[in-house]
Amino acid sequence: MKNPPQDAAAKEILQQIAVLKKEREAVILAHNYQSPEIQDLADFTGDSLELSRIAAKTSAKVIVFCGVRFMAETAFILSPEKTVLLPVLEAGCTLADYATAEQVREMKKKHPDAIVVTYVNSSAEVKAETDICCTSANAVEIVRSINRDRPILFVPDYNLGHYAAKVTGRDLILWDGCCPTHALLSTFAVAKAKKKWPKAQVIMHPECKAEALELADYVGSTSGMLKYVKSQPTGTSFIVGTEAGLLHRMQKENPDKVFYVASEYLICPMMKMITLKDVKTSLEKMQHVITVEEDIRARAQAAVDAMLRYTGTVSKQPPSSVAETEFSIGMEGKDAV
Ligand code: 13P
C-alpha cells in the first residue's frame, strides 16, 4: 500500500497544522486504525495502551487525540491539567456504548466479590466503577494476575473476555457487548481468504469471535500484531483480521512483506471520521475539548493507573486510595498492586 499522493491543498493544510501545533504546544496522537494521512501526520501512532502511556507522560499542553471518544477521555483522565481535543465529537465507540455505569453497578450487586476488569473501550463513568482497566495488549496478563479465588466481571467486550478466559483457564463473568467491526468477521470470510492466499499467515485481534480466532496463527492487539509481523522472515505474507487502518503502518514498516485485509468489511466508521481539515480546525478553534467530571475522573484514574502500574507506567496524579485498596485485595504474587 503506497502513501496517498499529497495534493497542494493537503500540503497547505499540513503546513498550517505544523504552525498551529507549535503555537498551541500540542502533541498529536493517532490510533493505529486512523486514516493513513492522519497516521502520517501524528507525532505518535499506536495502540490503546501505548497512547495511554504517552498521554500519561507527555509534557505538551494540548493533546489532539485522533481516535475515538473513550481514548480522548482516557487521555484527560490521566492528564487533567492538559487540554484534550477530539477533532470530531461524533467519533464514538459502539463497543463502549454496550455498558453503562448503572448496569455495571447492578452487576456488582449481583457479584459483590467480583473484581471488575474493564476494557479501556468504555466510558469514564464505567471506568469509575472498575477495579482495573485493561487493553487488548494486556487483558490476558491482567486476568492472570488476579487471585483465583476472586470472581472476575469482564466488561464490556464478550469476545476479548472469552479469549482471556480461554488463555488463562479462568471462568469469567462476561458482558454481552462486542465491537461490530471485529465481531462481523466470520469464519467463512477468514477461510475464504486462506483459500485465496494459502501461504499467508492469519493474524487477528482478540475482539474477533472465538470461532474465527480458531483459524488464526497469531492473536494480539494492534501493537502485538505489528511486533509479530516484524519478527517474521522477509517475504512472509499475512491475512490481517482487524480494522483495515492497521495495514497502512504494517506495510510502511515492513516493505519486504505482503498484507491482505481478511475482509473488505473491516472498516470502523468511527475511526475514519477525522480528516486533516478536522485536525487543523481542532487546533485553530481549540475544539472539541474533552473533560470528565472530577469525582468520576479520579475514580476512573485509579482503575487506569492500576493497569498502567501493572504494565510499568503510572500517571502523575495520585489515584484514589479507596479503589487502590479494593483492587489490592484481589491481586496475587509479586506483580500485585
Ligand atoms: P488496540 O488496543 O489493539 O489498539 O485496540 C483498540 C480497539 O479499539 C480495537 O477495536
What pLDDT, in 10s, does the model give residues 89-120? 999 999 999 999 999 999 999 999 999 999 99
The ligand 1 site (C-beta within 6 Å) comprises 32, 47-48, 121, 135-137, 179, 207, 221-222
Whole-angstrom distance, CA of residue 158 vs CA of residue 172: 10
Tell me the whole-structure pTM to 2 decimals: 0.91
Nearest protein Cα to ligand 1, atom 3:
221
| Under-50 pLDDT residues of the chain | 1-2, 317-337
pLDDT of residue 337: 25
Centre of ligand 1 to C-alpha 15, Å, is: 30
The answer to whether the CB of 223 falls within 8 A of the CB of 137 is yes
Minimum-distance ligand 1 atom for the alpha carbon of 271? 8
pLDDT of residue 316: 54
pLDDT of residue 42: 97
Centre of ligand 1 to C-alpha 4, Å, is: 24
Q: What are phi and psi of 289, to 5 degrees?
A: -75, 125
Q: Which three cell numbers stand for residue 111?
A: 457479584
Dump pLDDT digits (tens) for 257-275: 999 999 999 999 999 999 9
Minimum-distance ligand 1 atom for the alpha carbon of 243? 10
pLDDT of residue 6: 63
Domains in the chain with CATH codes: 8-92+272-285 (3.40.50.10800), 96-179+294-330 (3.40.50.10800), 181-261 (3.40.50.10800)
pLDDT of residue 4: 55
Secondary structure percentages of the chain, helix, strand, coil, to 5 = 45, 15, 40
pLDDT of residue 329: 31
Count Cβ atoms within 10 A of the Cβ of residue 22 and give its class: 0-12 exposed, 13-18 middle, 19 or more buried.
exposed
pLDDT of residue 52: 82
